[in-house]
Amino acid sequence: KALTQASLLCSTQTLKPMASCNTELAASLRDEKVDPRVIAYLTDKLHLRCLSDFANYWTDAEVDAALQNEVVGMVEPFKTDMPKAASKIQVARLRTSWKKARAQNTSQNSQFSSNGQKRQQFCFVSGASGAGKTTICNVLTDNGYKIFDGDIWCAGGDPINQVDAPVTKEMVASRNPAMAKAVTDAISVGRTKMGKGEPVPWQVW
């Protein structure tokens, strides 16, 4: 249960620390010699944070036109010189990077890992009061999932063994100061900016 509008997201990928995600995508694109300005557009303007974001942003049918018109065609100096070789080279390098990311993402989303062990699934359930989060969580629990209660975790409680427990002053007081600040920032800065339609710095989340 979390702070954004109702959604249910499922992923079979291994979770990665947020701080390394953007580095992963940028490093991969640099390896393919994609121009730094194009990389910045993908990460800063399109908010693509990791290889799976990049791989899933476009379909096979739309990726060629999108890389040319929605990415390279939006970045100077390529924007005004799209017919020239330099722009075409950037599109080709991006296409190569996208295909590699797509292949890697498909492999990671396999039911089994490379050593034959079955992958675990992670589901993120969020929404406003009354949106049906508890109902969804009950269904997931019936199907073998363990619930990690984000509200309880933010309050300093045990997110697995105290699901839906009432928040107490003792819980809140026991939080690590760094964690308490992170939660406060996410609520006071993140939710406030989102409510106003303003961009939220990635570090807040």
Confidence band for 33, pLDDT divided at 50, 70 and 90: very high
Q: What are the tokens at 20?
A: 């390394």
User: Is there a contact between 54 and 101 (Cβ–Cβ < 8 Å)?
Assistant: yes
Q: State the sign of the Cα–Cα–Cα–Cα dihedral 121, 126, 131, 137.
A: positive
Residue 112 pLDDT greater than 80, yes or no: no
User: Is there a contact between 183 and 154 (Cβ–Cβ < 8 Å)?
Assistant: yes
- What is residue 159's predicted lDDT score, i.e. its pLDDT? 81
How many residues appear in the chain?
A: 205
Lowest mean pLDDT among 88-102, 160-174, 185-199: 185-199
Mean confidence (pLDDT) of the chain: 77
Percent of the chain surpassing pLDDT 90: 18
Q: Is 33 exposed, middle or buried (0-12, 13-18, 19+ CB in 10 A)?
A: exposed
Whether the predicted model's global pTM rises above the 0.85 cut: no
Average pLDDT in the 33-47 region?
Answer: 91
Residue 10 pLDDT greater than 60, yes or no: no
Give the DSSP letter string of 68-85.
IIIIGGGSTTGGG-TTSH
* Strand, helix or coil for residue 120: coil
Lowest mean pLDDT among 81-90, 93-102, 135-144, 195-204: 195-204
Predicted confidence (pLDDT) per residue in 157-174, tens digit = 888 888 778 888 888 888
